[in-house]
A = this chain, B = another copy of it.
Amino acid sequence: MFSFTVIKKDIHTNARLGRLVTARGVVETPAFMPVGTQGSVKALSPRDLEEIGCQIMLANTYHLYLRPGVEVIRDLGGLHRFIGWKRAILTDSGGFQVFSLGGLRKITEEGVRFQSHLDGSSHLLTPEKVVEIQQELGSDVAMVLDECIPHPATKEYAKASTDRTMRWAERSLKAHRRSDQALFAIVQGGMYRELRSACVERLALLPFDGYAVGGLGVGEEPSTLHAIGEFTAGFLPERRPRYLMGVGRPEDLIFAVGSGYDLFDCVLPTRNARNGTLFTSRGKLNIKRAEFLKDPRPVDDACGCYCCRNFSRAYLRHLYHAGEMLAAQLHTLHNLYYYHGLMESCRRAIREEGFQNWASRLRSHGAEVEGGEDSQS
């Protein structure tokens, strides 16, 4: 039910063209997964996602577990049916959300106890429980419970946490039963290279269907993100999909593809969309700015999305300032179309001209940034 094939390796970089086969269809990699936290990619319908070429989306176990509750989704036929999405879904473990709760959670060897952000009720997530929830949701790819180590962290803390994450990974694997669902391990280790390499080496001995790298994009410098990401990728099993969690900006994705990662997720394109920051072939554009008041041009004249084919910057700026929901809808559609197009371009480059040539050409084009960056983004 689940397989991953590296179709082609790039000559000059570690980029790879892959094909992930899930119970719900094929995912061509490198691929970006839009984030549907509560079972909806904010402001988009499933048919919008299909239209932009999305083959896999992400949903958050933590949020769905708390609301509407896993038994509701299970009784209604599983997550795909519940949210009306026929293609692949990856569910995260909820670990990242729980660890973001700060003082409201407590970690023990058993698992993590936390208070719901919705009603304050107390819950215990164990590695086994998290596998069980995801099995009931019926996602195509499940993730193990891990601790996302805060940045900065002492080496002592990072080591203890990473060791526990590895023990949790073994427990997760033992608890997993669904043959139509893949289970991915998560590599932690903070910003410490020896912890990262030790973590991968131990996890790689276990029969996981794929490997994720977590704990990056948590406030460290981009250079650190790139360095640790690239370093860690070098240890990951060649024949398994590699997922860089929570990353990131277009330039980060390109760097990571070149380092050998296959899967990505990030709230950046969808959150930025709602803030009026749009990605274009010439950099970011802040649609809120006065200069767009009468601008008849589309957001990106190189873009073929529904938004760019039909609406001017002037109209989008108007919708944003008037507080119209349609702004978020059109902006999200555009930003995710851009991200999917970027991944499609990566795949084409690996297949045809070589990834390095394409990436350096892209960098020279992306220099011109219109409308400036949104500091809120």
Determine which of B43, B84, B306, B321 lies in contact with A47 in the assembled complex, contact meaning CB atoms within 8 Å: B306
Total number of A residues with any Cβ neighbor in B under 8 Å: 39
Nearest-neighbor residue (CB-CB) of A69 within chain B: B293
Tell me if A82 and B325 are in contact (CB < 8 A). Answer: no
Asked if A40 is an interface residue, CB under 8 A from chain B, the answer is: yes
A77 surroundings in chain B (CB, below 8 A): 296
Residue in contact with A314 in the complex, picked from B68, B321, B328, CB distance below 8 Å:
B68
- Cβ of A177 within 8 Å of any chain B Cβ, yes or no, is no
User: For residue A326, which residues in chain B have a CB less than 8 angstroms away from its CB?
Assistant: 40, 42-45
Tallying the copies of this chain within the complex gives: 2
Q: A306-B45, A330-B45 are in contact. Are A311 and B75 (CB under 8 A)?
A: no
Kindly state the separation between the CA atoms of A38 and B315 in the bound complex, as whole angstroms: 11
A40 in contact with B76 (CB, 8 Å): no
Is A318's beta carbon under 8 Å from chain B? yes
Chain B residues whose C-beta falls within 8 Å of the C-beta of A39 in the assembled complex: 315, 318-319, 322
Would you mind naming 13 contact pairs between A and B with Cβ atoms under 8 Å apart?
A38-B318, A38-B319, A38-B322, A39-B322, A40-B326, A43-B326, A45-B326, A46-B310, A67-B322, A68-B317, A72-B314, A325-B328, A325-B329
User: Which 9 pairs across A and B sit closest by C-beta, in order of nearness?
Assistant: A84-B310, A38-B322, A68-B318, A40-B326, A40-B324, A43-B325, A84-B311, A76-B296, A82-B315
4 new A-B contacts at CB < 8 Å, known A39-B322, A44-B326? A43-B325, A67-B322, A72-B314, A77-B296
